[in-house]
Amino acid sequence: MKYARLWAAAAAVMMMFSGYSCGKDEMTSSDVTDSAVTEADETTTKNDDPKKSDSSDTDKKDDDDKTTTTKADGKSDSKTTTTKADGKSDSKTTTTTKAGEKKSDTTTTAKSSNSSGGSSSNNNSPQGGSGNEGGSGEEAKEYTAEITLGGSPKVNGSGVTVSGSVVTITSGGDYLFTGSVDNGQIRVNTGASEEKVTVVLNGVNITNSGAPAIFIEEAKRCTIKPKDGSVNYVSSDVEKKGVQDTGTIFSNDTIRLKGNGELNITATASHGINADDDVIIESGTYNIDSRKSGIIANDDVTINDGSLNVKGGTNGIKSKGTININGGYTVVSGGTKEEKSSLYSGSTFSYTGGYLYAAGNKVSVPTHTDIPYIVADIGETVGAGSSVELFLNGNSVITMNPHNDFRCVMMLSPEVSSGSSFGISVNGESREFTVSGKENSFSLK
């Protein structure tokens, strides 16, 4: 009897322990054994949540900046550290480790507290820190220098000199500019160096009454880049100096513009963008309002992508050499005098793609194109601010209100083909035509 009672007690104890596995996710016998072995070292979550934490003491110090998720049978000991930008970043890092793996697959998304685009600083950077060049999914960008504009500009990094409110870039590299300044200037002069210079604008506002707001004095390879998500303003009312015209942005060499931010250019006395060599638009949004030409180049103007809204005075876009339209979306008006044009090319004009809508007194037409172009001669001058609407195959594609008097309109679109129906309405009076071949010049009178 004594042995019977002992056997009964043992059976009861076994039944009690077997009850702890009820309600769990399905497990094999080896899983039960592993769980029992590691139970003293690991924290088990609630029955309906198979996740558990395996963070070290070092990880806990960074809990405000990251979240680590590990599957139930994972054994990750990975660590990810996110450095805040000026203590105001709301950046978040998520690390996910698959079961049985030690390496982590990390995706970092950083957001700046700066509404104009901002930058995330890396305190370990030896040359001016780093910024997130474009938001989610893009790697942090290290800058040669970060400059805050003002009456007394602040510089963190190398490769620049400061004289009053003028900041001069003297060597190749990437330079990040923020802040506002009156009668200030960004100048680039790297001598005969072939080093590439990138001027990144992150929420700047530069005015100058006697010189260009941005002056590329000498640089073989210079790019102006409105930082992703930022809105920037540059303006100047400088007039002709000596033997050359200036502008709000003036370059003695080729200038390239790219980025996914916005740049607003105002020239109350001269050109918006002026280059002795080429002007190349790669990407970005540019709004130009100028007394003279919105964009003017001595050699070539090329638009590969981006969005442009140009309000020119003497001309909208002018190249003394060639024009190449390969992409992008451009709306341009210009030509305050009868001999001036909304779009002017002194040599060949190549069109391969993109959208361009122009209104002015005159316009240069493509000399090389596989896509039909359309020019509509209204036959009389129409007053500034009048409404002109363009149609393709019965669908409205754009409504323009040119800021200057105009008498002709040009439409370039990859959707135009021989046989397409083109319509135009000026102040409510409409006409319709049929596209035939590559050259299409329609007269409304």
Residue 40 pLDDT greater than 70, yes or no? no
Same domain, 222 and 299: no
Mean pLDDT on 72-88: 38
Same domain, 259 and 360: no
Alpha carbon 378 to chain centroid distance? 37
The tens digit of pLDDT for each residue in 288-329 reads 999 999 999 999 999 999 999 999 988 999 999 999 999 999
Residue 230 pLDDT greater than 70, yes or no? yes
Same domain, 258 and 319: no
Q: Are 281 and 259 in contact (CB under 8 A)?
A: no
Cβ neighbors of 106 (< 8 A, separation 6 or more) are 78, 80, 93, 94, 95
Same domain, 298 and 439: yes
Residue 75 is predicted with a pLDDT of 39
> What is the tally of structural domains in the chain?
3
Name the strand (E) or helix (H) holding 34. helix 29-38
Whole-model pTM: value is: 0.69
Domain boundary among the residues 118, 152, 180 is at: 118
For residues 249-271, b (16+ Cβ closer than 10 Å) or e, as one string?
A: bbbbbbbbbbbbbbbbbbbebbb
11: in domain? no
Same domain, 339 and 437: yes
Residue 192 is predicted with a pLDDT of 80
Q: Are 236 and 211 in contact (CB under 8 A)?
A: yes
The tens digit of pLDDT for each residue in 380-396 reads 999 999 999 999 999 99
221: in domain? yes
Same domain, 297 and 444: yes
The tens digit of pLDDT for each residue in 236-248 reads 987 766 545 689 9
Same domain, 67 and 152: no
Same domain, 70 and 162: no
Residue 134 pLDDT greater than 50, yes or no? no
Q: Domain range for residue 415?
A: 293-445
